[in-house]
């Protein structure tokens, strides 16, 4: 299946720093709880999340595939320039023997904290079988989209996955910061770095194989989510994050542009060395200065404050969108948020964000 054809290929061109008529726009978590149609569909389906984005139970019901496709496509009606596959960063961990359930947040009954547990993890050696559900969703989405919009696949970065596995739940607490359970991971980095590296090596191999599998099934862009980047000091980032990012991007199929999302990470010099085609930056980075520092090396995404989108007035959202588009320029820029949509973001604001992005005129 071709990864190059899309009737609206703005995002594909922007990711390659090619000329575009306008800056493309999409949002992380655009198919999620901020959308009343999503909430209504989830209530109608009445299944745990894990049954909507991975092979649970096995064999899975084909209707689960159709629901995942339907949810993925919901944002198309508001005018976004790309669709992202409905799944979770924890999705590929199940074939490793790491089974998170959602109640409602992710829970792993036995956290991964010993060498014996790490060595018992299974590789993703047959993704066409082990990730068959996700492959069917991707193929179904490409068929339904029929080239109308590009399709984005994604995976969690090794350190982010490691913190989930060690904590046994989300490592983040409401309002920011690391949970008490996740503090164990930082203790392990200090006291058992070799064990952390062994876990990260296995997760890196998993991530490469999973992203390449998604590309082989038809996604046209892939994004790597380092959702704990804001909790990593520079020495920790250089030791436990950067080498694995570089390995992942070096081994990805180059047919699909790649995006590195490192949540509120200010280490732009390191991100520029990752090998990603696009850097998704937070509000802590000045986008104009980042474009100047990159000097055409990569494209940029993100930077629009997701808190402003949740709490701001329509006029304030317009100002934020215009500032971001002005700083980012027209070439090598994808409009997105600093992080994912908050579930309590008014859906009117979400729709307005896309409308404001398309109304902006940039001559650069």
- Tens digits of residue pLDDT in 284-332: 999 999 999 999 999 999 999 999 999 999 999 999 999 999 999 999 9
Distances (CA, A) of 36 to 82, 169, 228, 355: 20, 26, 28, 18
What totals of helices (H) and strands (E) does the chain contain, helices first? 17, 9
Is the per-residue pLDDT at 4 higher than 60?
A: no
Query: In the prediction, which pLDDT does 104 show?
Result: 83
The answer to whether 210 touches 128, Cβ cutoff 8 Å, is no
- Range of lowest pLDDT (146-160, 166-180, 230-244, 344-358): 166-180
Query: In the prediction, which pLDDT does 57 show?
Result: 57
Rounded to an integer, the average pLDDT of 61-68 is 90
Is the per-residue pLDDT at 363 higher than 60?
A: no
User: What is the β-pairing status of strands 151-156 and 106-107?
Assistant: unpaired
Query: In the prediction, which pLDDT does 53 show?
Result: 79
Q: Which CATH number fits domain 10-359: 3.30.930.10, 3.40.50.620, 3.40.190.10, 3.20.20.210?
A: 3.20.20.210
The per-residue pLDDT for range 92-151, each reduced to its tens digit, is 999 999 999 888 889 999 999 999 999 999 999 999 999 999 999 999 999 999 999 999
**Which distant-in-sequence residues (6+ apart) come within 8 Å of 156 by Cβ?**
89, 90, 164, 207, 224, 225, 227
Query: In the prediction, which pLDDT does 327 show?
Result: 95
Is the per-residue pLDDT at 2 higher than 60?
A: no
User: For the residues of 129-157, what is the DSSP string, one character each?
Assistant: HHTHHHHHHHHHHHHHHTTSS-EEEEEE-
Q: What pTM did the predictor assign? A: 0.95
Q: What is the residue-averaged pLDDT of the chain?
A: 93
Q: Percentage of the chain with pLDDT > 90?
A: 86
Q: For residue 89, what are its two tokens?
A: 């960063």
Q: What is the rounded CA–CA span in Å between residue 265 and residue 259?
A: 14
Query: In the prediction, which pLDDT does 1 show?
Result: 45
Hey, where are the domains in the chain? 10-359
Query: In the prediction, which pLDDT does 5 show?
Result: 53
60 pLDDT band, cuts 50/70/90, is confident
């Amino acid at each position: 299946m071709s990864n190059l054809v899309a009737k609206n290929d703005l995002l594909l061109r922007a990711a390659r720093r090619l000329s575009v008529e306008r800056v493309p726009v999409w949002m992380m978590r655009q198919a999620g709880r901020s959308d009343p149609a999503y909430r209504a569909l989830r209530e109608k389906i009445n299944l745990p999340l894990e049954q909507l984005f991975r092979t649970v139970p096995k064999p899975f019901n084909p209707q689960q595939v159709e629901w995942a496709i339907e949810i993925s496509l919901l944002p198309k009606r508001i005018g976004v320039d790309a669709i992202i596959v409905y799944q979770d960063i924890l999705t590929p961990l199940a074939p490793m023997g790491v089974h998170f359930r959602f109640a409602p947040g992710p829970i792993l009954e036995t956290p991964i904290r010993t060498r014996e547990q790490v060595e018992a993890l299974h590789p993703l050696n047959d993704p066409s079988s082990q990730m068959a559900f996700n492959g069917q969703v991707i193929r179904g989405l490409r068929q339904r989209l029929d080239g109308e919009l590009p399709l984005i696949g994604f995976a969690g970065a090794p350190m982010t996955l490691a913190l989930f596995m060690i904590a046994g739940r989300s490592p983040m607490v409401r309002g920011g910061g690391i949970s008490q359970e996740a503090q164990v991971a930082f203790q392990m980095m200090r006291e058992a770095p070799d064990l952390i590296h062994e876990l990260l090596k296995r997760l890196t191999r998993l991530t490469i194989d999973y992203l390449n599998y998604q590309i082989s099934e038809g996604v046209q862009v892939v994004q790597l989510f380092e959702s704990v980047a804001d909790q990593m000091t520079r020495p920790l980032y250089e030791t436990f994050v950067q080498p694995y990012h570089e390995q992942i991007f070096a081994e990805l199929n180059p047919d699909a542009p790649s995006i590195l999302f490192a949540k509120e990470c200010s280490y732009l010099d390191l991100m520029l060395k990752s090998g990603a085609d696009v850097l998704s930056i937070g509000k802590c980075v000045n986008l104009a200065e980042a474009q100047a520092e990159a000097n055409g090396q990569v494209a940029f995404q993100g930077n629009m404050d997701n808190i402003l989108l949740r709490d701001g007035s329509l006029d304030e959202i317009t100002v934020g969108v215009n500032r971001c588009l002005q700083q980012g320029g027209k070439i090598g820029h994808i409009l997105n948020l600093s992080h994912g949509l908050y579930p309590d973001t008014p859906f009117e604001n979400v729709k307005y964000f896309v409308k404001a992005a398309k109304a902006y005129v940039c001559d650069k």
